[in-house]
Structures are given as C-alpha cells and as structure tokens.
C-alpha cells in the first residue's frame, strides 16, 4: 500500500510520554480527562494479528447483518458461504475457477501499488486484454496449436496498451492516475459494447456477445470438475510475481521507487523506467486476467465479464499486503464470496453488487483496524 507509516512521522512523533497518572476519582465535577492518541513504534506480532482478525470479524458481522436485513436468514448465509463451498466439489471448483483471475488481478494491483501507482483501471485493462485476445480468436490468427499462446500475448499487450496512456500522463504531466485509469474504464466498457452490439455480435444467436471460441481457443480442462489451465497459470504467475518482487533486481528497484524515488534518482537509478515497467506489467496482468475469464470460463467475449473485478483487485492487494503468495489465499476467500454472491443472486434476488458491499465493508474495517496497530489510546489528565 502506498501509505505505510512515513518515516518522518515516526521520527517526529512523541512516543515516550510519561505514563499517565491515575485519575483521581475523588475530584468531582472536573472533566479534564481526555483520550490521547499516541504513535506506536512497534506493534507486537500478536497485536497485528489480533487487529487484522478483529477487522475481518467486524467487517463480516456488518456484512452478515446487512444481508440478514435484506431477507437472507442467518443459517442460509452460513450454508451458502461456508458449508456448501467446503462440502461440494462443484462449489469448490467454482471457487477455484473464480480465484484464478482474481489472484491475477490482485497481483496486477499489487505490482502497481509497489511503485505507488493506484491502478483503479483494472476493469478497463481486462476489457482491453479480452478484446485483443478475442480479436486473435475471431481472426483465426496463427496456427491452431499456438492460438492460445497468441491470445494470451495479445491480451497482455492489450492490457498494457490500455495502461500506457495513464502511465505516460502521470510520468510526463503529473496527471493523477486514479482519475485517468478510472475514466478509461468507462471508455473501455463503451468500446466493448460497441463491438458486441456491432461487428462482433454473435451471428448465430444474435445476442450481444461474440461467437463461441473454437476448442483450440479455449483453455484446456485439467480433468477435475470443470477446472481449466487458468488455475495453474495463476499459480505460476504468483510464483513469478513473488520472485520478481522479492528476489529480482527489478524488485529492489521497485522498493526504492516506493520508499524514496528522489533518492533513487539521485543515485542514478532509472526510477521513471521502473514505474513505467511496473505499471505496464500491471496492465498486462489485468489483460491476461481478462483473457483467462474469456478463454477459460465464458468461452466468448461477453458484456459484463469484467464487472466488479477492479475493486476486488485492489481489495486483494490491500489485504495481502502486496505479497503475491498471500494474494493467492485472499483471492480464494474472495472467490468464495463471488460464488456465494452468485447463489444469493439466484435464490434470494440479492443484486450482485452486494458482493461489492461485503468487500467494501471488509476493506474499511481492516483499514480501520490498522489504527490500533499504529496508535495507542490512553486516557490522560
């Protein structure tokens, strides 16, 4: 996350205030006690874990309360969210199918965060990537055995291209990337609609989605349930991301770009190049996630395949603390949420945006719990 405790704050904070004297219970009518906030230098591991767990629990309780208020009984919630997913292989497979693209976009968001770049445009980049991959599929480019590889590469290129504008505008003009990436989501979505209602409309069904991909254009099945190679692809990408961030020279440069780009520049390190490469990589990963959904799940380009994923990417990177291996775990949990959200939609007419609500509540509660890691509350007189 771009904002970890800034060094200046730690240096200048008053941390060793004298222990507060016990308030005198015999002093009536004087309300001089007040709650003081102090900065903590260190938070012990148990406290960090407790704060995270507390944030998660409070977030889940809030979410459950809202869903119960919307008419889903508590036992049904437990059934949909936990029991059915952990007991039925079909549901587990559905969760893993969701977790694959989710982890890829989580990694996309994490890599951009690593250079202090808020990539809020993941949905646009997914659309850009999926459009590029679909173009390859519809045009039957390349020999059939290589078709999928070409589609994946096209998707990476499409996602990166969609990111190129915001990156260059940020690096050359200092234009705020939050707004530019977000606005381009709407542009990409309208472009997608144009294709699906126009030239790419399915000639067979006349529905506004592309024609079905032929079998060399689909990610192959793994042989268990309906899982495809999207899952191993995601795992490989996470491992590669872990290597890139933790072990490679580029990862070191990203850490400099995150902590102190001015220092890096003064040392002659290519800070602009690092931000450029990291953001384009982020866009490319988002494009690949779009490809994984189209070629692995939907087998065609649809209108709303990317809907809601952008915020999930940010949530996953945030909860995983930008660590690619933790991204896998969080993506699995968010996948559970997505699958449960689908059955809530079918059986209880809960709109799919409820999934976003639950995610937002969890992010807010976990972010709020950070307060207790970084600060200490104390009554002073």
Partner 1 sequence: MFADFLLDWLSAVPGFAVPFALAALGLLVIEKAGVLSLGAEGFMLVGALSGIGAILGLGSQPLPALAVSAAAAALLSVLFSFLVVSLRVNQVIAGLSFVFLAQGLTGLIGTTEGWVNRPVEGLRSLSLIPLVDIPVIGPVLFRQDVVVFLTVPAFAVVAWFLTRTLTGLRLRAVGDGPDAADAAGIGVARMRYGAVAAGAALVGIAGGYLSVGTARIWVEGMTGGRGWIAIALVIFARWQPWRALAGALLFGAIEALIPRIAAVGVQVPQYFIAMIPYLATLGVMIWTCLRGNGGSLEPRALGVAHLREDR
Find the binding residues for partner 1 in span 165-184 (CB under 8 A): 169, 173-176, 178-180, 182-184
| CB distance 282 to 108 below 8 Å | yes
Per CB under 8 A, the list member of 44, 232, 273, 351 interacting with partner 1 is: 351
Residue 379 interacting with partner 1 (CB under 8 A): no
Q: How far is the CB of 132 from partner 1 (least distance, A)?
A: 18
Of the ranges 6-14, 205-213, 252-260, 283-291, which one interacts with partner 1 (CB under 8 A)?
6-14
| CB distance 189 to 197 below 8 Å | no
| CB distance 369 to 55 below 8 Å | yes
- Nearest CB to partner 1, comparing residues 202 and 216: 202
Of the ranges 96-104, 272-280, 320-328, 371-379, which one interacts with partner 1 (CB under 8 A)?
371-379
Contact partners, residue 72, CB within 8 Å, separation at least 6: 80, 344, 348, 350
Distance CA 162, CA 157 (A): 9
Q: Which helix (H) or strand (E) holds 316?
A: helix 309-319
Q: How far is the CB of 111 from partner 1 (least distance, A)?
A: 17
> Across the chain, which distance is largest between two alpha carbons, in Å?
88
Q: Which of 132, 122, 175, 123 is nearest to 153 (CA)?
A: 132
Q: Which of 160, 162, 373, 203 is nearest to 300 (CA)?
A: 203
Q: How far is the CB of 150 from partner 1 (least distance, A)?
A: 27
Q: How far is the CB of 323 from partner 1 (least distance, A)?
A: 17
- Nearest CB to partner 1, comparing residues 121 and 335: 121
Judged by the rule CB under 8 A, the positions of this chain that interact with partner 1 are 1-3, 9, 12-14, 36-39, 66, 70-71, 118, 120, 169, 173-176, 178-180, 182-184, 186-187, 190-191, 193-194, 197-198, 311, 314, 318, 349-361, 363-364, 367-368, 370-371, 374-375
């Amino acid at each position: 996350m771009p904002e970890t405790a800034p060094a200046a704050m730690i240096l200048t904070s008053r941390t060793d205030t004298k222990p507060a004297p016990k308030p005198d219970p015999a002093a009536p009518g004087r309300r001089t006690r007040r709650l003081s906030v102090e900065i903590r230098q260190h938070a012990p591991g148990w406290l960090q874990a407790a704060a995270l767990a507390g944030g998660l629990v409070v977030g889940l309780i809030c979410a459950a309360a809202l869903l119960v208020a919307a008419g889903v009984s508590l036992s049904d919630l437990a059934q949909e969210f936990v029991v059915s997913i952990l007991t039925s292989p079909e549901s587990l497979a559905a969760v893993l199918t969701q977790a694959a693209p989710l982890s890829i976009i989580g990694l996309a968001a994490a890599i951009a965060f690593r250079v202090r770049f808020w990539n809020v445009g993941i949905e646009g980049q997914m659309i850009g990537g999926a459009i590029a991959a679909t173009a390859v599929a519809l045009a039957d480019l390349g020999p059939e055995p290589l078709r999928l590889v070409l589609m994946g590469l096209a998707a990476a290129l499409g996602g990166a291209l969609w990111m190129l504008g915001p990156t260059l505008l940020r690096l050359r003009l200092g234009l705020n990337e939050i707004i530019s990436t977000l606005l381009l989501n709407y542009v990409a979505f309208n472009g997608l609609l144009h294709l699906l209602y126009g030239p790419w409309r399915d000639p067979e069904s006349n529905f506004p989605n592309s024609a079905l991909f032929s079998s060399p254009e689909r990610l192959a099945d793994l042989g268990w349930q309906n899982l495809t190679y999207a899952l191993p692809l995601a795992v490989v990408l996470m491992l590669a991301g872990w290597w890139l961030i933790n072990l490679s020279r580029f990862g070191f440069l990203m850490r400099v770009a995150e902590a102190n780009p001015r220092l890096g520049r003064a040392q002659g390190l290519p800070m602009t190049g690092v931000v450029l490469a990291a953001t384009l990589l982020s866009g490319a990963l988002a494009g690949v996630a779009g490809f994984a959904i189209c070629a692995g799940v939907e087998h065609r380009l649809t209108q709303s395949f990317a809907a809601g994923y952008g915020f999930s990417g940010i949530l996953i990177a945030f909860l995983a603390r930008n660590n690619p291996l933790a991204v896998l775990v969080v993506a699995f949990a968010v996948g559970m949420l997505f699958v449960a959200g689908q059955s809530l939609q079918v059986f209880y007419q809960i709109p799919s945006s409820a999934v976003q609500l639950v995610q937002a509540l969890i992010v807010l509660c976990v972010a709020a719990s950070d307060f207790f890691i970084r600060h200490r509350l104390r009554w002073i007189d």
